Amino acid sequence: MEITQDTIKSFAQQVESIEKEISREMVGQKEIIRQTLITIIAGGNALLEGVPGLGKTRLVRTIGNVLDLQFSRIQFTPDLMPADVVGTNIITRDQDGNTIFRFQPGPIFSNIVLADEINRATPKTQSALLEAMQEHTVTVGGETRTLPQPYFVLATQNPLEQEGTYPLPEAQLDRFFFKLMVKFPTLDELNDIVNLTTRGTEDKANKVADQRTIMKLRSIAQHVPIAKGVQNYALRLVLATHPDGENPSSTAKRYIRYGSSPRGAQAIISAARIRALMEGRYNVSFDDIRYVAYPALRHRIFLNFEGIAEGRNTDDILGEIIEEMAER
């Protein structure tokens, strides 16, 4: 696709219209909406963490509607099997009456997949998502099938009920582009939610984009220029999360067991590019890096005993690392 000055300039406008449309059904959570859109445009997957009832499912459904994308929802439970997710070969008869194996696609074959309470499934089932999330393909019975594009997995997990859950392994967490923390709405937002949902006259979001739009936006975002100093800042930030790295921050040395993988750096740069365009800017700034660093890195760093014992959370630690990091 050819990128022209007009298409570049229309990026912010298009994203703004999507955001506006989503906001018709989703009250508040503007940052979550924006970061989810960043994830979709970047072609990544998001892990949402938040207590039940904050509108996670609604968000995904609304995005699906607005973007005219196919949406499916998987409720993860301990007895959920991988085949329930990816699909399976079933024995059936063809038109001639011959017995054949036919692949029955699972709910994963959709543009947007909501993996609700992903940590309730067994690791075996969780890992069924790995290939789909990373490669956007599914292999069943020795046959690899491509998932529709754009493809986006939005997994949720409930931080409260930890009984009988299977925390996501580091490898799987790393596959998530962003980890988004869904906060409880403010009083005004809660008021709006109540008003919107209890009158029976909810606004319906319209379709303002389609698959092509998303792919075009993705293509444009990949070309946003980034100054060497800014890119270097992002990479130094990732390296600073490594307690045993070249230039670890003092906070990392004290509280972090493992730092971010290179996927963290990739996520930061990609997300920062999109964020810059969303802000109507045609280059990445330090501020973009700082903005996306939290959702891109918070699930990629692992606290050590001291960090856990002191009740530190990764956002605080990232904040301290960012504060230590000088712009150069």
Q: At what angle are helices 262-278 and 211-221 packed, to 10 degrees?
A: 110
The reply to whether 8 sits near another protein by the rule CB under 8 A is: yes
Least distance between another protein and beta carbon 2 (Å): 8
Long-range contacts of 225-230 (CB under 8 A, 24+ apart): 225/282, 225/283, 225/284, 226/269, 226/272, 226/273, 226/283, 226/284, 227/283, 227/284, 229/327, 229/328, 230/272, 230/283, 230/284, 230/285, 230/286, 230/288, 230/289
The reply to whether 4 sits near another protein by the rule CB under 8 A is: yes
**Residue in the structure block whose two tokens are 């406008």:** 13
Binding span for another protein by CB under 8 A among 21-29, 37-45, 63-71, 224-232: 224-232
Least distance between another protein and beta carbon 7 (Å): 8
Q: CB-wise, 85 or 272, nearer to another protein?
A: 272
Residues in contact with another protein, shown as a per-residue x/- string from 278 to 317 under the rule CB under 8 A? ---xxxxxxx------------------------------
DSSP state of 178: E
What is the SS3 assignment for 256?
strand
Q: CB-wise, 73 or 281, nearer to another protein?
A: 281
Size of the site for another protein (CB under 8 A): 20
Q: CB-wise, 3 or 171, nearer to another protein?
A: 3
Least distance between another protein and beta carbon 302 (Å): 31
The reply to whether 325 sits near another protein by the rule CB under 8 A is: no
Residues in contact with another protein, shown as a per-residue x/- string from 225 to 264 under the rule CB under 8 A? xxxxxx----------------------------------
Q: CB-wise, 52 or 225, nearer to another protein?
A: 225
Q: Report the b/e string of 57-74 with b at 16+ CB within 10 A.
A: bbbbbbbbbbbbbebbbb
Least distance between another protein and beta carbon 273 (Å): 11
Torsion sign (Cα): 111, 115, 157, 55: positive
Q: CB-wise, 1 or 130, nearer to another protein?
A: 1
The encoded tokens of residue 240 equal 């600073």
Alpha-carbon gap, residue 102 to 98, rounded angstroms: 12
Least distance between another protein and beta carbon 229 (Å): 6
Least distance between another protein and beta carbon 279 (Å): 8
Positions in 97-126 near another protein (CB under 8 A): none
Q: CB-wise, 159 or 225, nearer to another protein?
A: 225
Cβ burial, residue 98 (10 Å; 0-12/13-18/19+)? exposed
Interface residues toward another protein, by CB under 8 A: 3-5, 8-9, 223-230, 281-287
